[in-house]
Structure 1
């Protein structure tokens, strides 16, 4: 079984900065990490590898510094890693990103695709489903538990107020929530070997041959009109009277505001 896992390097959200002109994230000089949901998706893929001996390929689309999360994926147990990087991909929205990733996945070949539910820098939860749609395969989103037996998967989906049980057969795409598991630690011996051999492949658009009108900032139908940091205001009010009067006044005002 060939498994492809899409992982993303995201900025530390406490250091998030946005270019006021383009509306895109400023990544230069900002600490980066592997997206939490993607790490959970990678762990699910590695558990499947442990069970049936599957091959796991981790892919990431981004600048050269995104090799860091691919090195982490290899140290966790992925077999191959591919960085999809080209200036023509810069500024891609979710639609353009899924165009790039789906072409890369077709080139790799797959039986199962794992993605995280969403990325902490965008919170759209759109890329995984878009990849499935463009590849013409079924998708199961919000996966919180997964098992495989006799050629089919048994899945638990985490919904707002209930758990949905499903079955699926390959080819299929799963998007996984970060609560699904506790990702394994890096294997230090593998990490040392990775640093010495630099096994990560880098693909650009010469490899994928995607029409540039559907990728990058110019090929993205989503346009950021305005970005801003929200401001919060607070108002302090002193309630006069005896203790009983204060309590009654407070209860009345809370009820009026539908807070109790």
Structure 2
């Protein structure tokens, strides 16, 4: 199974944010870190790839100045990373981000796309569903448990009253919640 995991580099949450006085965008420091919620998606992707003799490719749209977050994700064990860096994408909204990521993912013939439910710097929570819409594949959201089925995927979808079991054929997009798995620690080797 060829698995795409969407990851985002964000300003270190321990560092105070500064807004650009002209456009009110966050001034992104050179040092970026891996969004903590993405570690769950990476780990889920790695476990599924190990179970299916598959691969994990990371996809990120961000300035390439600091690759600290991408390096951390690769050190967890991902096979490769695709970084989309274009000045014209600075300040992109969620839909533009989804379109750009979906275009990159579509070129690689991916079976499953995994993303965190939402990023911790924007809390938008719609990019995974928008990627699914652009790719014209099912979106399975709020996954707290994920397993493969013959030709598909099954999740336990977190709801207010517990969970629902949802199945889908592949290709598909799933958005995982924190706690879906326990992320491994990055290694120097990767």
Query: TM (normalized to structure 2)?
Result: 0.93
Q: What SS does the corresponding residue of 1:96 show, helix, strand or coil?
A: helix
Q: Distance in 2 between matches of 1:158 and 1:66?
A: 34
Q: For structure 1, list consecutive stretches of 5 or more residues without a partner in the other structure.
A: 191-260
Q: Take 1:58 and 1:72, find their aligned partners in 2: how far apart are those partners?
A: 11
Give 1:56's aligned residue: 56
Note the C-alpha offset of 1:21.
2.3
Q: Say if 2:34 is the partner of 1:24.
A: no
Kindly tell me: are residues 123 and 189 of structure 1, through their superposed partners in 2, closer, same or farther at Cα, counting changes over 3 Å? same
User: CA separation in 2, counterparts of 1:49 and 1:39?
Assistant: 15
Tell me by how many angstroms 1:66 deviates. Answer: 4.8
CA distance in 2 between counterparts of 1:149 and 1:126 reads: 26
User: What is the DSSP-based 3-state SS (H/G/I as helix, E as strand, rest coil) of the residue aligned with 2:189?
Assistant: helix
State the shift of 1:176 in Å: 0.8
Which structure has more strand as a fraction of its residues?
Answer: 2
Uncovered stretches (5+) of structure 2, i.e. residues with no partner: none
Question: Which position in structure 2 is the counterpart of 1:131?
Answer: 131
Cα gap change, 1:100 to 1:66, in 2 (>3 Å):
farther
Q: Of Structure 1 and Structure 2, which has the larger fraction of its residues in helix?
A: 1
Superposed, 1:1-260 pairs within 5 Å as 1-14=1-14, 15-28=16-29, 32-190=32-190
CA contact (8 A) 2:2 2:49 kept: no
> Secondary structure of the equivalent of 1:36?
coil
TM-score, normalization: structure 1? 0.69
State the 4+ residue runs in structure 1 displaced beyond 3 angstroms. none
Secondary structure of 2:182's partner? coil
